[in-house]
Amino acid sequence: MSQKFDVIVIGAGPGGYVAAIKAAQLGLKTACIEKYQDKSGKLALGGTCLNVGCMPSKALLDSSWKYHEAQADFAVHGIDVKDVAIDVPAMIGRKDTIVKNLIGGIAGLFKANGVTTIEGHGKLLANKQVEVTAADGTVQVYQAENVIIAAGSQPIDIPPAPVDQDVIVDSTGALDFQAVPKRLGVIGAGVIGLELGSVWARLGAEVTVIEAQDKFLSAVDEQVAKEALKIFAKQKLDIRLGARVTGSEVKDGEVTVNFTDAKGEQHMTFDKLIVAVGRRPVTNNVLSADSGVTIDERGFIFVDDICATSVPGVYAVGDVVRGPMLAHKASEEGIMVAERIAGNKAQVNYDLIPSVIYTHPEIAGVGQTEQQLKGDGVAINVGVFPFAASGRAMAANDTAGFVKIIADAETDRVLGVHVIGPSAAELVQQGAIAMEFGSSAEDLGLMVFSHPTLSEALHEAALAVNGKAIHIANRKKR
Ligand SMILES: NC(=O)c1ccc[n+]([C@@H]2O[C@H](COP(=O)([O-])OP(=O)(O)OC[C@H]3O[C@@H](n4cnc5c(N)ncnc54)[C@H](O)[C@@H]3O)[C@@H](O)[C@H]2O)c1
């Protein structure tokens, strides 16, 4: 096998594997280096997202939601189910099968597109050489015309709660509990804390979430975050804001966490504790001292708008660079870089990256929040439509939350779409499409939406921006 490639990608997560497939499709001789192994020691492509992130967590969110519905929501439909029970190892086994199939899918795509998979740890050397160290310690050096670093991220550890993957776990360990913990502590009320906290709360765990910030979900639209906090309280997620963890002690299979909040010093004991305080880029040991690629003090690789590093021909995408740590952002950066290497024009619209928290109801948004726009002094009109007024949501017995559309007061152009409610992720994507085409709220209001659908809530929110909603009383004059 030749040791020279047009493109070598380091990392086969959603940034790396997508970049590799695209580069190969564009006729470039491409290799992708990955070292991650599954529990049986077999190479597992797909990165955090497929192995221990987005996909396994969604499998558990769906399983636990079905259990919750069977237990708590079926009766309202007149469905009587008795003795609903959860078999946790079976639920975990289903999740593992989904992960296995997805990983196999990427291996198949690599084969179909002619991407060479190189197993081992990749490290960028000087002059676009890439060193690969296999699990048995063998070292090979490859030469590339272009290198794409897509090494991803890993959970941040905090000294007061060191992860042992037994009693104190990170997001990976929390996907493999073999029984429902009676008392579950979660440090961090971010995306992971809320998603994994929800999984185990639905299955019966008493969940306490300890969050350092006073403000809940500070990056989310404030009106949405406020609604979410109310809904989660009803779901008995005990969210402690302004709570700083000072220490923890593991003893006899349980953990006591010490934290301080507005009430003073607190101590709580849990059967399991999930630490979900953010992730950091994996960039140490991926760049040799003479690679020429520069990183900031937090370990992120410096890149420009098109993900080019300080070394010509070396790019970096996904969680190792600035911007939100989201799989879809990484994939789009991977596509952009592959296209650029092939000599085509491509770019990512960083203003329109949707984000989703897969709780129930889901929380999703695209564009700017009301607080951002007001902070920037932009005059806006806001339309809100509650799912409580949606016939489709009523039929589904799923009426919590609302759709919120924010438009520029002068031009009517949609600047933000924020949803908390059923299928929020899918509804926000409609907003993203509209915004990508420069839609005004009026444009959205003039479109025909199928009836009855949840999407009608988006239609009505767009109409409400200019005081023209039909199925709620309008606050503004027409
Ligand atoms: N649905 C999704 O798109 C999805 C799902 C999972 C993860 N992710 C991404 O993965 C990354 C990591 O997720 P995450 O939830 O770990 O991070 P996050 O940044 O979303 O949330 C971490 C939370 O922990 C809090 N925190 C930090 N230190 C603390 C401490 N010592 N004590 C108490 N609270 C503390 C922070 O204030 C923050 O609210 C994020 O960038 C996220 O976007 C995305």
pLDDT digits (tens, 9 = 90+) for 408-426: 999 999 999 999 999 999 9
Average pLDDT over residues 109-125: 98
Q: 244 - beta bridge partners?
A: 260
CB 173 within 8 A of CB 32: no
Residue 357 half-sphere exposure, CB side, CA atoms within 13 Å? 27
| Residue whose CB lies within 8 A of the most ligand 1 atoms, among 192, 259, 321, 355, for a mutation test | 192
Distance CA 134, CA 207 (A): 41
Distance 156 CA to ligand 1 centre (A): 9
Q: Domain check: are 323 and 411 in the same one?
A: no
CB 277 within 8 A of CB 190: yes
| Per-residue buried b or exposed e for 72-92, using 16+ beta carbons within 10 Å of the residue's own CB | eeeeeeeeeeeeeebebeebb
Average pLDDT over residues 171-192: 98
Q: Domain check: are 191 and 209 in the same one?
A: yes
Q: Give the domain-ending residue among 316, 350, 384.
A: 350
pLDDT category of residue 477 using cuts at 50, 70 and 90: low
Distance 153 CA to ligand 1 centre (A): 12
Q: Give the domain-ending residue among 315, 350, 385.
A: 350
> Would you call 345 helix, strand, or coil by DSSP?
coil
pLDDT digits (tens, 9 = 90+) for 424-450: 999 999 999 999 999 999 999 999 999
Q: Helix crossing, 456-465 with 424-436: angle to 10°? A: 50
Q: Please report, for the domain that includes residue 436, its CATH number.
A: 3.30.390.30
Q: Which domain holds residue 430?
A: 361-465
pLDDT digits (tens, 9 = 90+) for 315-340: 999 999 999 999 999 999 999 999 99
pTM: 0.97
Q: Domain check: are 253 and 241 in the same one?
A: yes
Which atom number of ligand 1 is nearest to the Cα of residue 276? 16
- Please report the ipTM that was assigned to this predicted complex: 0.96
pLDDT category of residue 377 using cuts at 50, 70 and 90: very high
Q: Domain check: are 337 and 269 in the same one?
A: no
- Whether 287 is covered by a domain: the verdict is yes
Q: Tell me, what's the pLDDT at 413?
A: 98
Distance 317 CA to ligand 1 centre (A): 20
pLDDT of 1 > 50? The answer is no
CB 257 within 8 A of CB 273: yes
| CB of 330 shorter than 6 A to ligand 1 | no
Q: Domain check: are 140 and 267 in the same one?
A: no
| CB of 212 shorter than 6 A to ligand 1 | yes
- Whether 161 is covered by a domain: the verdict is no
Average pLDDT over residues 230-237: 95
Which atom number of ligand 1 is nearest to the Cα of residue 319? 41
Domain count, the chain: 3
Q: Tell me, what's the pLDDT at 475?
A: 76
- Whether 314 is covered by a domain: the verdict is yes
Q: Please report, for the domain that includes residue 235, its CATH number.
A: 3.50.50.60
Q: Domain check: are 259 and 329 in the same one?
A: no
CB 76 within 8 A of CB 397: yes
Q: Which residues are catalytic?
A: 451
Which atom number of ligand 1 is nearest to the Cα of residue 191? 15
| CB of 205 shorter than 6 A to ligand 1 | no
pLDDT category of residue 118 using cuts at 50, 70 and 90: very high
Q: Tell me, what's the pLDDT at 420?
A: 99
Q: Domain check: are 367 and 435 in the same one?
A: yes
70 is annotated as contributing to ligand binding: no
Q: Domain check: are 127 and 263 in the same one?
A: no
